Chain A
Amino acid sequence: MTQEQLEQVYEELAQAIDRAGPEQAEVYLAKLALALAEDLGNADRALAVIAECETGIGAQG
């Protein structure tokens, strides 16, 4: 994916989160992650990304 395409995805996501609204944003993002993982078609890769994204999140971040 090019930097421009990544930026496009970034911007679309920001607006989609606003459309989902604060109550539903968390569910929306979890749903999105699940759908993208299935589209990825590789469970090992998906699990690795799930672990990777914990970096910097939470108290130990």
Chain B
Amino acid sequence: MRPKGRGELDSLYFDYPHFAPPARDKGTEPRRPVVIVGAGPVGMTAALTLAQYGIRSLLLDRKDTFNDGSRAICISRSSYYILERIGAVAPFLEKSLGWTRGRSFYRGRQILEFDMPDSEDEKFRPMYNLEQQYIEQFLWDAVEASALIETRWQSEVTGIEDEAGGVSLTVTDPNGSYTLPAAWVLAADGARSAIRQMRGLRLKGANYEGRYVIADVQMDHDYPTIRRALFDPVCRPGGTVLIHRQPDNIWRIDYQLREGESAEKATREENVRASVAGVLEEIGHKGDWDLEWWSVYSANTLLLDDYRDGRIFFIGDSAHIVPIFGVRGLNNGMADGQNIGWKLAWVLNGYASEALLDSYTPERRGATLDVFANATKSTRFMTPPTHGWQVMRDAALSLALTRPSAGRLANPRQMTPYTYADSPATTADGTGFSAGPVPGAMITDVALEGGFLSDRIGQGFTLLAFGDDAAEQARALRDPGLEVVTLPAEGAAAVAYGARAGSAYLIRPDLHVAGRWQAARAPDIEAALGALSLHKEVSA
């Protein structure tokens, strides 16, 4: 919602583009290898990942501009690796605000200051703040520049039928309806996914009681990019307030509604203004401020039983709705898009059998369940569901005035990448490792001369070979699809990976570890590639 007198897309800082409907031929549409429904951040990440490996896709979106309803602002380190690999990271680094620190206050007194893990070995900061409009703009710039991605705006999917070897979509745009055949469909059409409804699938899980108003205000406010959480503040007794800095002098203020407070009343402009004024007074902001936009939300943990339905894959909010605390909605959606993107590319390029696609649901649904476990804890702390949780939350906050350990119970558990343990697209752990990422985990980055370890990892499968022997074993495979990076058997990388001469790590295109060996032999690596449903004879 926006203040009276301003249009729906009338932003203080962002010019929404307008996209015309497609000028398409009246003839029959050829079957597309991949159609992606929804040109939000998740759909665009999937399209760019496919394009990275030479796969064409067609993006459909029913709107004529970017999303105005969803307002993610935190992008995690793991998502920056995704952005880097799809060639879109530069404008994000330029515009976004990186941060590591959070502060929690109880009745105006600071009870916790936490720093998310960061060091000189990290290429990216743990978190970056950037408005979703810019996230979509920067991804769109990359999509538009790609010769392999066609986008059709104002194009709504109004029907979907299975057919031999594919799916037949009915698409409706201002010029009429037409049939669009596709070998594979990625449903990135959001929380109210039309594809999901047309397939008769339902999200299952829990809804939480607590409701929050989120409001963006523009103001000159002197405070670093540090996430602030105010528990039981003067301006909102018994409630919780969150404050985040964003680029362009925009500040995100989330505040909890009281039990029984009507959302309709709370979201009236005069009430939003009064509530925001109370928060600003509490944080000592004396100057002017402008109200940009506001909305209301409640926390949910909902997901599909299976993220795949025939030749349709659900990615992002169409597959799962997660609570806002811990910033996992956008970040997990982008990881979904990358995960199915590279796997589908491997199948369509003939490098892997379709069995590889069966690893999508266990990996990404597993990540969602992990998010639920963490976010449920965060949500219970932010909006206690019962008297017992409320009493304990208040007790922990009060005890935090004298004990830091109690303050740590208020840690928001920000997003960390999920480890795909037991996935069909990873292998059993090698023995003898005392350090380093386990199979299924995301790589550990290491500062090396002139850059980072991640810079040396290829676009496809990469073997990190420690010492010349390991590299020799890898070359004996003569697998043109495998890139081999030789690293010294001693030094920073070897320490971080618990490696000695002869050790090796097999890294997937999404920078997760597929397997590792203390003394790597060619047959081991070959068996691992086979276990991942990869053909040995591949064309580079």
B392 in contact (CB, < 8 A): yes
In whole angstroms, what is the CA distance A3 to B114 when docked? 14
CB-based contact B386/A18 at 8 Å? yes
Given A52-B402, A61-B107: A3 touches B386 (CB 8 Å cut-off): no
Given A3-B408, A61-B107: A14 touches B398 (CB 8 Å cut-off): no
CB-based contact B409/A53 at 8 Å? no
Given A10-B396, A56-B398, A56-B401: A17 touches B409 (CB 8 Å cut-off): no
A13 in contact (CB, < 8 A): yes
| Contact residues of A: prevailing secondary structure | helix
A16 in contact (CB, < 8 A): yes
Q: Number of B residues whose C-beta is below 8 Å from A? A: 21
In whole angstroms, what is the CA distance A56 to B409 when docked? 17
CB-based contact A10/B409 at 8 Å? yes
**Proximity bits, A7-33, B CB within 8 Å = 1, else 0:** 100100111111100100100000000
A57 in contact (CB, < 8 A): yes
User: Chain B CB within 10 Å — which of A3, A14, A18 has the most?
Assistant: A14
B405 partner, pick from A6, A52, A53, A55, beta carbons under 8 A: A6
A49 CB, nearest partner CB in chain B, Å: 10
Given A6-B409, A7-B409, A18-B386: A55 touches B398 (CB 8 Å cut-off): yes
Given A53-B399, A56-B401, A61-B398: A10 touches B387 (CB 8 Å cut-off): no
In whole angstroms, what is the CA distance A53 to B394 when docked? 12
B391 in contact (CB, < 8 A): yes
CB-based contact A56/B107 at 8 Å? yes
CB-based contact B106/A56 at 8 Å? yes
CB-based contact B387/A13 at 8 Å? no
Q: Which residues of A contact B396 (CB under 8 A)?
A: 10
A46 CB, nearest partner CB in chain B, Å: 15
B389 in contact (CB, < 8 A): yes
B392 CB, nearest partner CB in chain A, Å: 4
A17 partner, pick from B392, B398, B401, B405, beta carbons under 8 A: B392
Which positions 382-432 of chain B face chain A at CB distance < 8 Å?
A: 384, 386-389, 391-393, 396, 398-399, 401-402, 405-406, 408-409
In whole angstroms, what is the CA distance A52 to B406 when docked? 13
| Residues of chain A at the chain B interface (Cβ within 8 Å) | 3, 6-7, 10, 13-19, 22, 25, 52-53, 55-57, 61
Please give 5 more A-B residue pairs, beta carbons under 8 A apart, in addition to A10-B392, A25-B387, A53-B398: A6-B405, A14-B393, A15-B388, A55-B402, A56-B398
5 inter-chain pairs at a CB distance below 8 angstroms, sorted by A residue, are A3-B405, A17-B388, A25-B387, A25-B388, A53-B402
| Residues of chain B at the chain A interface (Cβ within 8 Å) | 106-107, 377, 380, 384, 386-389, 391-393, 396, 398-399, 401-402, 405-406, 408-409
